[in-house]
Amino acid sequence: MFNGKPLLVAGSLLLFSVTGAAAQTFSSDKTEFQLETVAQNLEHPWSLAFLPDGTMLVTEREGRLRRIENGNLVREPVKGLPELVASGQGGLLDVVLHPQFANNQTLFLSYAHRNSDGMTTRVARATYNGEALENVEVIFEALPRSRNGRHFAGRMVFDQNGHLYMAVGDRGEMDRAQDNRDDAGGVHRISTNGDAIADNPFIGDSRTNNTFYTYGNRNIQGMTLHPDTGEVWSHEHGPRGGDEINIIRAGNDYGWPKVTYGIDYSGIPISDKTTMAGVTDPLHYWDPSIAPSGMAFYTGDLFPQWQGDLFVGALRSQKLVRLTLNDEEVVEEEDLLTNLGERIRDVRMGPDGALWLLTDSRQGKVYRVVPAK
């Protein structure tokens, strides 16, 4: 249980301590819950990972990897990060653990990188020794590079076969999402060494890079595995309107910018179509935009009322969205934390049965969502 007492999870002793003021209580249609502040004063935290020993790793977009140990934020960042740049929407982005992390201490980082040719999204593999990264190796680099600082995407997830799915945004140059000799605007499926998977859908197609798994994706900011089917679910930012939830399936074209429910930021239409033959329609969309970021299915025991629900953070709308599903159909949508006044950057299902949130600000927080007392 919580309240400063040890919590045994998967054979590891997890210790949490709540910082700051008393936990805040909020209401959902199904239950009441509280937010416990586990860490604060993080600079634009972007991603959260749970280690087997109870440590948590948090990326700060400004270029730091931080540790939370025994419920306390360690002052000194993890050393040995790859060379990266924090510029525009880019910086240190996602952190995910190797499926066999307990045995090999290997993790993966996505981040923005700059050289004389411009900026891009990279993935590096490294060994974590508890205080620093060792054996850092770049295993994926999206090419060509671009001069602008938008739409790096960067979300990653491992599937049940140990394949790494890596999202690359269109870099703010929308037509790149339909050019598959260009790594922008899609999901890439690679091995832990960075190689294309042998049965990727475009292997042998000279018009498409071998690592592509899907294309026509604008700027994916959330990826997670469905707890029953094992399929990769994602969401992505639309322009003004047209944020989408999709199921990532081999070879699919998700339509950007040929079809969209949104319009350009200038107010000019991008397309007069919201669907067309050969394009995969979104499972769900938002118009106006909520700017979704981070997503997780709830699979814990603390909230039996939420079992199987999908939770999505929102930056622009500053809320947490709960979606109830019937197979691949959204049958209920509820907005939570609308009065919190925080941009929700990441949403994670914790090994302790709690839902975990990161807030996006210069004084970002790590929240633990638990039942109201």
75-116 pLDDT, tens digit each: 999 999 999 999 999 999 999 999 999 999 999 999 999 999
Q: In a 10 Å sphere around its CB, with 0-12 CB exposed, 13-18 middle and 19+ buried, how is residue 223 labelled? A: buried
Instruction: Return the sign of the alpha-carbon dihedral for residues 338, 225, 253, 123.
Output: positive
3-50 per-position pLDDT tens digit? 333 333 433 434 454 554 467 899 999 999 999 999 999 999 999 999
Catalytic residue among 151, 235, 237, 284: 151
Q: Is residue 2 part of a domain?
A: no
**What does the radius of gyration of the chain's CA atoms come to, in whole angstroms?**
20
Based on the structure, what is the number of domains in the chain?
1
What CATH number should be reported for the domain holding residue 111?
2.120.10.30
d(CA 195, CA 193): 6
Are 367 and 36 spatial neighbours (Cβ–Cβ below 8 Å)?
yes
The Cα–Cα gap between 156 and 96 comes to 7
Give a yes or no: residue 218 inside a domain: yes
- CA dihedral of 201, 144, 86, 221, whole degrees rounded to 10: -30
Is 151 a catalytic site residue? yes
- Give pTM, 2 decimals: 0.94
Does some domain include residue 206? Answer: yes
List the pLDDT tens digit at each of the 373 positions of the chain: 333 333 334 334 344 545 544 678 999 999 999 999 999 999 999 999 999 999 999 999 999 999 999 999 999 999 999 999 999 999 999 999 999 999 999 999 999 999 999 999 999 999 999 999 999 999 999 999 999 999 999 999 999 999 999 999 999 999 999 999 999 999 999 999 999 999 999 999 999 999 999 999 999 999 999 999 999 999 999 999 999 999 999 999 999 999 999 999 999 999 999 999 999 999 999 999 999 999 999 999 999 999 999 999 999 999 999 999 999 999 999 999 999 999 999 999 999 999 999 999 999 999 999 999 9
- DSSP state for residue 101 in the 8-state scheme: H
Query: What 3-state DSSP class applies to 46?
Result: strand
Q: d(Cα 15, Cα 71) in Å, to the nearest integer?
A: 6
**Which residues, 6 or more positions from 5, have their beta carbon under 8 angstroms from its beta carbon?**
none
* Residue 168 tokens, joined: 């690359």
Output the six-digit token pair for 173.
């140059």
- Structure confidence at residue 84 (pLDDT): 98
- What residues make up the domain containing 332? 7-371
Q: How far is CA 192 from the centre of its chain?
A: 18
H helices of 89-178, in order, are: 101-104
The two three-digit tokens of residue 230, written as one number: 């094992």
In a domain, 1, yes or no: no
Other beta carbons within 10 angstroms of residue 246's beta carbon come to 24
